[in-house]
Amino acid sequence: MNLKQTDRYLSYKNIDCAGNSKRLMAMLRRHIDDPEKSNPFWEKFKEMLAEIDQPQQNNGRRIDELFLIHTYINNLYEIFEGYADAEALSLLDQIERECC
């Protein structure tokens, strides 16, 4: 094991999972807010983003950006790869290694 690499199973201390997840969702919005790049899946995803931290609108369940990333990680890789968004891909990989 590379000792310089964070071992997420030992500690999340000093890892900004929430902040990085919010940054990634902002990067995603650059794509899915463009009608030329969106589709019914991403339109539904935007509805889920609107329900973040609003359990009263989600049957009492509190979701956050990290939950959505973990749940839809393959879709996120696909869109960022499709638009050759290297910055978003790098951050998604980091979040997957450190937080998921």
Instruction: For residue 7, tell me if it sits in a domain.
Output: no
Closest CA to 45 of 17, 15, 75, 85: 75
- Of the CA atoms within 13 Å of residue 78, those in its CB half-sphere come to 9
Instruction: For residue 58, tell me if it sits in a domain.
Output: yes
Distance in angstroms (rounded) separating the CA atoms of residues 45 and 74:
14
Q: Which two tokens stand for residue 77?
A: 């890789």
CB-CB contact of 91 with 19 (8 Å): no
CB-CB contact of 71 with 19 (8 Å): no
Instruction: For residue 74, tell me if it sits in a domain.
Output: yes
The whole domain housing 52 covers: 17-99
Amino acid letter for position 10: L
Instruction: For residue 8, tell me if it sits in a domain.
Output: no
pLDDT one-digit tens code per residue, 52-62: 887 777 677 77
Instruction: For residue 83, tell me if it sits in a domain.
Output: yes
pLDDT of amino acid 5:
55
pLDDT of amino acid 4:
55
Instruction: For residue 51, tell me if it sits in a domain.
Output: yes
Distance in angstroms (rounded) separating the CA atoms of residues 99 and 28:
18
Amino acid letter for position 1: M
pLDDT of amino acid 1:
45
Q: How many domains does one find in the chain? A: 1
Question: With 70 as the cut, is the pLDDT of residue 43 above it?
Answer: yes
